[in-house]
Amino acid sequence: MPTRDQVHNFAAGPSPLPTKCLEEAALGLLNYEDTGMGICELSHRGKEFKAVIEGAEADLRSLLQVPDNYTILFSQGGGTGQFSAVVLNLLAAHRLAHPVPAEEFKPPVLDYVLTGSWSSKAYAEAQRLCAPPFPNCPAFGQPRIAASTKSTSWTRLPSRDEYNFSKDAAYVYYCENETINGIEFPPKAEDKEAFPFDLVSEGVEIVADYSSSFISRPIPNFSRHAIIYAGAQKNLGPSGVTVLIVRNDLLVDTTEASKLGCIPAVPITYEYKILANNKSLYNTPPTFPIYVSALVLKHLIKNKGGLEGLEQTNREKAQTLYETLENAEKKGKAKLVVRDSSARSWMNVTFNIEGEGEEKKFLEGAEKRGFRQLKGHRSVGGIRASIYNAVTIESVKLLCDYINEFCN
């Protein structure tokens, strides 16, 4: 049976977590802070867990330099839950901002940028939630595609001239990193594939799904965003907790909005204002995932150089692996899925092994050497090496050595 040190886990998620944090979490699971009780056995309203969740919020605010006019929330339901919550809360906010009589109501436009499976699912959920509640009734909203790369099988990002944003949209939605094909918006505004914040009209809200790239590097144009959310299970902690960063003016009373009519009702646990008013403790939160996430945040700040250190390490890991694969491609042994280097994900590196039967040989050889979970997503196949925060540069270099050996 291999030890943890002998395995190099390249899972797309849930992903590896720092061993040091898991060891501390294991102790806390049995006896947290000498209470004689495990962290999962303590009241979520007690002083012990209050210190955990408040510490996690403070450390995340410090790590990302979150401005004071944003609230950090810990929720449940994953990114998929936010496909729904974003629509519901922002429709309510828009309705309160436009309190016209119901007979004068015009469904607002919701712009979606589609770059892969997850943004497509978010768009599909918006369509479902905005549909007219009964025949001959206006829709709650008008989801529309502002840009899409579906025609090229999600293997590139839109060019600037492909974006067609609505000037009066309620919001624009994008997914910063698509895990399946390994597509990510580059961080610098001068990169030609960068998200075009300047093309979005002033006053139109911007929503970003950062689930698979959260806390891997700084978030560009942070203050231009209305909502940023992320499932924890890639870079932050175990699956089960979702982080929301919501601008304070969007913490609206959805019940008051509903009284105006023409919007769908919001389940109480998905209303951002309810979560904020109760400091993420309206109902019992996922205490253990939040606890582990709190440990990871402290570890990243204390031992990994904060966000600057993480960005430097993640850039090095991505560059090292992509350079190795580019050399393998020159030899006709491999082929990168994303052709434009500026659109390639730092987190999910996707490629194919060329030649009949070669992919199977590659995966079998990788397994023998301790490289785990390299097989691509079931919908596209191929190989996917996910190199999230907890994957070390040493693991990446060993994988590169294996790729070179295989290609030679």
CA dihedral defined by 386, 387, 391, 392, rounded to 10 degrees? 140
Q: What angle do CA 148, 86, 197 make, to 5 degrees?
A: 50
Cis peptide before 14 (omega within 30 of 0): yes
Among positive and negative, which fits the CA dihedral 262, 266, 271, 273?
positive
Do residues 88 and 266 touch, judged by C-beta distance below 8 A? yes
Active site residue 209: yes
Active site residue 192: no
Per DSSP, the three-state class of 306 is helix
173 Cβ contact partners less than 8 Å away, ≥ 6 residues apart: 86, 110, 111, 112, 113, 119, 122, 123, 126, 206, 207, 208, 209
How far is residue 133's CA from residue 285's CA, in Å, rounded to a whole number? 32
Active site residue 273: no
Catalytic residue among 118, 154, 273, 317: 118
How far is residue 121's CA from residue 379's CA, in Å, rounded to a whole number? 14
CA dihedral defined by 104, 106, 107, 109, rounded to 10 degrees? -160
What is the token pair recorded at 321?
């692996």
Residue with tokens 């495990």: 38
Catalytic residue among 209, 273, 317, 346: 209
For residue 75, the tally of other CB atoms under 10 A from its CB is 21
Catalytic residue among 234, 273, 317, 333: 234
Do residues 200 and 172 touch, judged by C-beta distance below 8 A? yes
How far is residue 286's CA from residue 283's CA, in Å, rounded to a whole number? 10
Point out the residues that are catalytic: 118, 209, 234
